[in-house]
Amino acid sequence: MNVFSFDIAGDMAFFKKNDANDMVYTSYNFLHKPVTLGIIGAILGISGYSKSKSNQHPDFYTNLMDMKIAILPHYEKPLKKVITGFNNASGLASRSTKKQGETWQIREQILMGEPEIRYTVIILNNDSIQDNLMSNLKHLLKNRESEYPLYFGKNEFFAYHEKYQEYEATPLSDTEASVCSLIKTGDENTTIFRETTFENFDPFERTSNKGYTIFEYLPYDFDERGFYKKDMFVLTQREIIIKDKTGFYTLVTKNGGEPFNVQFI
């Protein structure tokens, strides 16, 4: 199984929620798959949204939508957020309102790195993407190159990639395991935490609840109209029960190291 990864990092980020109100534009806590595909598209030099209004999806999505990826955040709690403001004088922000052309005062919720925001993006090469795109992506990642500038959500928040790595991958065999990546949990048959009953409760037993657990409702795809599809995701150090192991793999770097588990989405 051909699996490889790279790190993407930057000082600040803004992963805009599409259901934010007009007062403050809020941000997701984590990098999600649609944004990740956009970053990979930028590395490859694939453009974003077409100027044609008939095309509901960005060009990078059209080329990369079948790519399976796992996202490993390098932090154990939600990032620090600050509210900042700026004036939008372009007239574009107000063109659909009665105040068309006026300057808007925008407030945004920005994620701050401590000292940086970093993710490992792992890609499963399952022959769903054109060979020339995949080979070019590997070449660019190995050489720390990118066709377009990279950024975390806004072009003010520059990002960079590094640490190309290759892995040996095998389908996950265990039904209970810890998973390092973001886990899509919306399907009842996918993942649950072990329930503790009164009979097996041990007040001195610490391992079952050891570590952090963070839930967030995140985009994972686009629908046919170009809107986000969303589901509940979790990042946790706890072991989970996996009923359906589709997409779960155990990885080991080709130069050795400890095995770890991820979910490709």
Phi-psi region of 90 (alpha: psi -120 to 50; beta: other; left: phi over 0): alpha
Position 212 confidence tier, pLDDT thresholds 50, 70, 90: confident
Q: pLDDT tens-digit profile of 23-40?
A: 788 999 999 999 999 999
Query: Can you tell me the distance from the alpha carbon of 182 to that of 189, in angstroms, rounded to the nearest whole number?
Result: 17
**Structural domains of the chain ordered from first start:** 2-263 (3.30.70.2660)
Please write the tens of the pLDDT for every residue from 68-87: 999 999 998 889 999 988 77
- Residue found under tokens 């629908």: 223
Helices (H), the chain: 33-44, 59-64, 131-142
**Residue 206, pLDDT score:** 47
Enter the pTM of the model. Answer: 0.87
What integer pLDDT is reported at residue 137 of this predicted model? Answer: 97
Distance CA(145)–CA(6), nearest Å, equals: 12
Q: Which residue, 257, 256, 250, is CA-closest to 122?
A: 250
What is residue 201's predicted lDDT score, i.e. its pLDDT?
Answer: 46
User: Residue 105 has what pLDDT?
Assistant: 79
Distance CA 262, CA 71 (A): 8
